[in-house]
Amino acid sequence: MGKILIVDDAKLMRNIIRNTVLEGEHHEIVEAQNGEEAVSLYKEHRPDLVTMDITMEQCNGLEAAKRILEFDPHARIIMVTAVGQEKILAECVRAGVSDYIMKPFTKERIASSVSKVLQKSEMS
C-alpha cells in the first residue's frame, strides 16, 4: 500500500493507470494533469511513487521530474512514454527516474513496474 501520484494530461490515461494500479491493491491515488500541478501536488502529498507522462503542456514530464527530484532526490518516478521518445527517455533516466513504461503498455507491465519501484522504496 502506498500513495501514488498519477500525472497525465489525458484523463483516459490517468483512469487506465488508476484502474491498473488499484486492482487488488489499496493505494491512495492523487492525480495531476500537467507538470506544474505534479510538482505542486508532490510537495503537498509526498507520494511514494509518481507515474509521469513525458508529453504534456504547461511543463513537460522531463522538466517536472527534474524539479521533483531536485526537491526530493529519493522520489520514485516511473515515466510513461510513447515510442519515438527514446532521446527524451534517456535524459529522464540520466536525471534519476526509477523506471519507464512504453505506450501502449499492458496491465501486467505497469503493475510490475509499480510493484518493483514500491518494493525498492520500502527497502531503502
Lowest-confidence segment of 51-55, 56-60, 65-69 by average pLDDT:
56-60
Q: Give SS3 for 4.
A: strand
**Max CA-CA distance within the chain?**
35
First vs last C-alpha separation in the chain: 16
Note the pLDDT tens digit of each residue in 3-51: 999 999 999 999 989 888 766 677 889 999 999 999 999 999 999 999 9
The structural domains of the chain, ordered by start, are 3-116 (3.40.50.2300)
Confidence of residue 121 (pLDDT cuts 50, 70, 90): low
Residue keyed to cell 505534479: 38
Q: Which has the higher per-residue pLDDT, 119 or 31?
A: 31
